Copies of this chain bind each other. A is one copy, B any other.
Amino acid sequence: MAEDIIKIYNQLIERSKQIAVINSCAAVLEWDEQTYMPRPAATYRAEQSAFLAGLSHEKATDPAIGERLSALEASPLIDDPVSDTAVNIREIRREYDRETKIPKELVEALSRERTLSQNAWIEARSNSDFPAFEPHLDTLVGLQREIADCLGYEKEPYDALLDNYEPGMTAETVKQIFDAFKDDLVNLVAAIGNSPRKPDTSILQRAYDIERQKVFGQAAAAAIGYDFSAGRLDITEHPFTTGLGPNDVRITTRYDARQFGQALFGTLHEAGHGIYDQNLADGHYGTPRGESVSLGIHESQSRMWENLVGRSRPFWKHFYPRAKQVFPDVLNDVAFEDFYLAINDVRPSFIRVEADEVTYNLHILLRFELELAFMRGDLAVKDIPGAWNENFQKYFGIPVPDDANGCLQDVHWSFGLMGYFPTYTLGNLYAAQFYAQAKAQIRNLEDQFAVGNFSGLKEWLVTNIHSHGKRYHAEDLVKTVTGQPLSHEPAMGYLREKFGELYGL
């Protein structure tokens, strides 16, 4: 191969790593802002972050990158599409196109409208007043359509937006899978509702000392494989995971003495994200080959550890005796089965972020259908509340009391994040499909959990998913790892088996 092609490739990689340095500095500032920064410093912190974002954008849109990419795309470096070089060239192209195709004026208009829209949304939600938010949402939908036009798409604008979060995924594929999932889910939720077994969730609302919750949550996160020597767990209002550089992936949670599940399952969720980031390929930091696949695949990791593992019978076979030791006064009169049923309470509720493992997906399906319709122009923004409430009644069997508990509850649309919601349920679907495969390949997987050994699953995830970085897009990764295209069936099978047994269906 010509030496100059290698040189060009190295220049491309060097620039990619430099952008990663800038973005990682921004990540440190953002982590600090959420954890320890004094509140009055927020104004200047915004200036610092804006400077770094501007610098990163400037570096990422340098025409030299486009020229290098064109040369490399005509070179043998892309011959093997899953080689490190081809993966990096393909993904840097994706990123470069996204950064350069949208005109500056549009980016600025979006940024301005986001700020206005955020404030309007906060106000509108607190007054349950959709009409006050409507003009902003209308503007944002228009801007997102313009952005989709700039980015280009084959079938519909939504694809261009979805592609930002779930590269390669299309509305058509999502719709097909979600539609099949929906009928089964609605039936399962109805069946659980009709079951005479009703969990006593007050068990989880007793007084769980926060210092003890911290100890217990940290032990659980460490047990499933989150590496505290290259990370840390802090407290923030909204839990998150952030990578600040190699050997520095931090997670956060929040504690409520009267909600045992919140911090613990939140910690397992973020630890799942953290384990993914901690096990991306060594030495590829700052290049796509060392980055996570997509939001959906990331979410598959957090959901797997939170739900498929963390709310499972074998997990608690190991941890329940320990929980009783840590919270002796609180749990001494609680039988294992009652505790296990309480942490797996399923019932229709209005707020997505508080929903259980089963109904959660219905919240997402509803949002996906609506945003697909309003991005197509089939649903006017003013008609969102009506459509929301009608579908909600249909899926959950209960009427929405007001828009604050309905279409105004989520922050996403006020940020212009259309196309983001599906990644949550895609995460659940990927998780179930990966997990079924892991169970088939690892002997006695759940028996290992029951004795506190989670390394079998963790290593399987590292080998099959984490270590590949962005080598495969999500759909191909699923096929490569499980031998099957993505389907709702593993998730539905998992939910039917687990909750059928629990609720005696």
Contact = CB atoms under 8 A, between A and B. Distances in A.
A505 to B, nearest CB: 46
Count of chain copies: 2
B36 A48 contact: no
A18 B48 CA distance: 9
A109 interface: no
Interface string A24-53: 110011011000111111011101100110
Contact of A248 (B21, B41, B248): B41
Contacts of A248: 37-38, 40-41, 44-45
A37 to B, nearest CB: 7
Contact of A36 (B47, B232, B245): B232
Contacts of A31: 32
Contact of A246 (B18, B43, B229, B231): B43
B232 A38 contact: yes
Q: Which of A38, A45, A229, A232: most chain B CB closer than 10 A?
A: A38
Contact of A21 (B32, B36, B51, B231): B51
- A interface: dominant SS: helix
A236 interface: no
A232 B36 CA distance: 8
A230 interface: yes
Contacts of A24: 44, 48
Given A32-B28, A32-B32, A231 B48 contact: no
A84 B28 CA distance: 34
B21 A48 contact: yes
Contacts of A22: 51
B40 A21 contact: no
Contact of A51 (B25, B36, B234, B246): B25
Contacts of A48: 21, 24-25, 28, 245
Nearest to A248: B41
B44 A246 contact: yes
A343 interface: no
Contact of A44 (B37, B45, B234, B245): B245
A164 interface: no
A287 to B, nearest CB: 14
Nearest to A17: B47
A224 to B, nearest CB: 18
Nearest to A231: B38
Contacts of A45: 245, 248
A400 interface: no
A262 interface: no
A25 B29 contact: yes
A464 interface: no
A41 B230 contact: yes
A482 B37 CA distance: 38
Nearest to A27: B48
A247 B41 contact: yes
A244 interface: yes
Contacts of A29: 25, 28
A121 B21 CA distance: 31
A230 B231 CA distance: 27
Contacts of A230: 38, 40-41
Given A51-B21, A52-B25, A40 B247 contact: yes
15 contacts: A21-B47, A25-B48, A25-B51, A28-B28, A28-B32, A36-B36, A38-B232, A38-B247, A41-B245, A43-B247, A44-B248, A44-B285, A45-B248, A47-B245, A55-B55
Given A40-B230, A43-B247, 15 more contacts: A21-B47, A24-B48, A25-B48, A25-B51, A38-B232, A38-B247, A38-B248, A39-B229, A41-B230, A41-B245, A41-B246, A41-B247, A41-B248, A45-B248, A55-B55
Nearest 10 interchain pairs by C-beta:
A41-B248, A40-B247, A44-B245, A41-B247, A21-B51, A44-B246, A38-B230, A40-B230, A25-B48, A28-B29
